[in-house]
């Protein structure tokens, strides 16, 4: 069992791009989403995963992640996951010893850009890059599982 401690932020400028890795396209859908957990299928690059997360939309959640064959993920997304799927390009930015993941959403969530940082402790402090905007960790609208049901374009 794993614990994920993740904080989410909006982006206020594009200056992060000059330090970003090459982006990886992701597509993901949800097999289940209820009051206890979400079960997600995600494809990114040449990898695919089945992911289970506790349903709490907080900074700390229980998470399990399992590699699955890419072909299985394609079939699960096509036949079992309701649309719209989450489509995004993920970039990695290193800043002051921390790894940031920047998700540039496409499809139904086009126009939304979110920065995420995973921490070791819920109270861990970290330096904030100048491109970092408002924190949205406690706003459920910004969680992928919610974006799949209520896309950004409909806000």
Q: How many CB atoms are located within 10 Å of the residue 61 CB?
A: 18
Q: Is 89 helix (H, G, I), strand (E, B) or coil?
A: strand
Q: Is 61 helix (H, G, I), strand (E, B) or coil?
A: strand
pLDDT band at 42 (very low <50, low <70, confident <90, very high): very high
Which residues belong to the active site? Answer: 30
Closest CA to 74 of 51, 48, 52: 48
CB 84 within 8 A of CB 104: no
Domains (range + CATH), the chain: 2-154 (2.40.320.10)
User: Is the pLDDT score of 1 beyond 60?
Assistant: no
Closest CA to 21 of 76, 92, 81, 89: 92
Quick one: average pLDDT of 19-36?
A: 95
What pLDDT sits at residue 57? 67
- With a CB cutoff of 8 Å and minimum separation 6, the contacts of 54 are 36, 37, 61, 62, 63
pLDDT digits (tens, 9 = 90+) for 103-138: 999 999 999 999 999 999 999 999 999 999 999 999
- The single-letter DSSP state of residue 152 is G
User: Is the pLDDT score of 13 beyond 90?
Assistant: yes
């Amino acid at each position: 069992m794993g614990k994920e401690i993740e904080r989410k932020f909006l982006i206020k400028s594009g200056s992060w791009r000059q330090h970003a890795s090459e982006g990886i396209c992701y597509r993901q859908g949800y097999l289940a989403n209820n009051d206890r957990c979400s079960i997600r299928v995600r494809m990114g690059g040449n990898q695919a995963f089945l992911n289970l997360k506790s349903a709490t939309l907080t900074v700390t959640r229980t998470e399990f992640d399992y590699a699955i064959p890419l072909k299985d993920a394609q079939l699960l997304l096509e036949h079992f996951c309701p649309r719209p799927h989450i489509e995004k390009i993920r970039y990695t930015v290193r800043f002051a010893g921390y790894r940031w993941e920047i998700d540039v959403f496409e499809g139904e969530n086009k126009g939304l850009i979110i920065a995420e940082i995973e921490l070791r402790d819920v109270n861990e402090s970290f330096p904030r890059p100048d491109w970092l905007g408002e924190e949205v960790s406690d706003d459920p609208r910004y969680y992928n599982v919610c974006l799949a049901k209520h896309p950004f374009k409909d806000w």
